[in-house]
Structure 1
Amino acid sequence: MARYTGPVCRLCRREGQKLYLKGEKCYTDKCPVTRRNYAPGQHGQMRKKLTNHGIQLREKQKVRRYYGVSEVQFRKYFKMADKMDGITGENLLKVCEMRLDNVVYRLGLAASRKEARQLINHGHFTVNGKKVDVPSYLTSIGDVIEIKDKSKASPKFKGLVESHRGNVPQWLEVDAENMQGKIIAEPRREDIEIPIEEHLIVEWYSK
């Protein structure tokens, strides 16, 4: 399935809130959501009343775009979450949080999830000592994610942990000196940066 390759700031504007897709730019006054807080396109400023169907769709699209997940992958994650013990909506978010690209971003080893996907694709990371170049790889508690030794000397990675604006969540542990991190617990629902009503996504897929 083709991945969206247009301006990612348009996705944030379409959802009407920051999805932190652009890294450092999202925290400055240059963020398009701050400057033009309306949907993109010729009719973006027109007020539209959404139906229940539309509200559920927008919530699903928002979470998909937040994590950079395709529709096929997201539906697969929902089926996984539905079979797990606990609340399906929260399980879905936990599965998305455990993706390798999200973990790399959360550890501060990339400025955005998009950059994390690129770095993983280029083979810069290992999981438990083995190279993993699949951004959608689902990590587990106890996994150690580390920048490859050959990549640590690159200016790209120097100081990334220290300069990362987001706080590293409590379910992760960072060793900045060795440029590595460890998953020490399950992701917490309250650690997600944007407001999400996951029950709307469950309603969408339960039709």
Structure 2
Amino acid sequence: MARYTGPKTKISRIFGEPILGNGKWLGKNSNPPGQHGAQRKRKTLGEYALQLREKQKAKYTYGVLEKQFRKTFEEAARLKGVTGENLIRLLEARLDNTIYRLGIAPSRPAARQLVSHKHVTVNGIVVNVPSFQLKPGDIVSLKDKSKDNTSVTSQIKGKNPKFNWIDYNEAEMKGTFIAFPERESVPENIKEQLIVELYSK
């Protein structure tokens, strides 16, 4: 399964946001990456550059490479409703993202590893595909054997209460994907309309 394995801080500095986790280098004096990042005068980004930048930000945020992201967009375009909002809903419904949202893993890459190492079940069946699309009512849990693994359970911090589209039972280490989230409930700073405009060219 392909994934981004390059420098994380560099990507965060490009966008000026801690989209790949640790944002400790994004202080007031943080500069864009590169030898001349501080001195170089940046041109105002054009329309295409802004659209491309937003797509790249979404890809890095959710840990999806180009081919898979394009397929997800095409699926979103087929669904009823606003394409951009559908895209965010599909990305949020990925199994690895839901594991992260439930607080079972501290980051999306860590959630991806949990899934690929067969620690996670969906409706009682082991699923090792991070991009697995959940449907409303699906129950996500750690395997019984994994619940006794301290290296796995020590990472659990519990669900953020503002994520109202999922429910988490702390005692059973089990979560339920209740519904696809509304766009305003998703905290990621992504302008999905720019992505739609980019793919519509």
Judge same fold: TM > 0.5, yes or no: yes
Note if 1:140 corresponds to 2:145: no
Cα distance in 2 for partners of 1:77, 1:3 equals 16
Q: What are the superposed Cα offsets for residues 12-36 of structure 1, whole Å, 9 maximum, x if unpaired?
A: 11111121x23xx44xxxx122365
Cα distance in 1 for partners of 2:174, 2:28 equals 36
Structure 1 residue ranges without an equivalent (≥5): none
Letter of the 2:6 partner, please give it: G
Listed as ranges, the matches of 1:5-16 within 5 Å are 5-16=5-16
Matched with 1:34 is: 27
- State the TM-score, normalized to the length of structure 1: 0.89
Matched with 2:151 is: 156
CA drift at 1:41: 1.4
Cα distance in 1 for partners of 2:78, 2:111 equals 29
Per mean C-alpha deviation after superposition, the further-off stretch among 83-92 and 38-47 is 38-47
CA drift at 1:38: 2.5
Listed as ranges, the matches of 1:28-67 within 5 Å are 31-34=24-27, 37-45=30-38, 46-48=40-42, 49-67=44-62
Counting matched residue pairs gives 199
Note if 1:192 corresponds to 2:189: no
Letter of the 1:197 partner, please give it: K
The DSSP-based 3-state class of the residue aligned with 1:146 is strand
Distance 1:102 1:108, change over 3 A: same
Matched with 2:122 is: 127
CA drift at 1:67: 0.2
Q: What are the superposed Cα offsets for residues 101-151 of structure 1, whole Å, 9 maximum, x if unpaired?
A: 000000000000000001111000000000000101111100000000001
Q: What are the superposed Cα offsets for residues 147-205 of structure 1, whole Å, 9 maximum, x if unpaired?
A: 000010111333544x3584451000000111110011211212322322111000000
Structure 2 residue ranges without an equivalent (≥5): none
Cα distance in 2 for partners of 1:164, 1:6 equals 29
Note if 1:105 corresponds to 2:95: no
Q: Percent identity?
A: 45
Cα distance in 2 for partners of 1:158, 1:87 equals 38
Cα distance in 2 for partners of 1:7, 1:198 equals 25
Cα distance in 2 for partners of 1:154, 1:57 equals 42
Question: Which aligned segments of 4 or more residues in structure 1 are displaced greater than 6 angstroms?
Answer: none
The DSSP-based 3-state class of the residue aligned with 1:64 is helix
Letter of the 1:196 partner, please give it: I
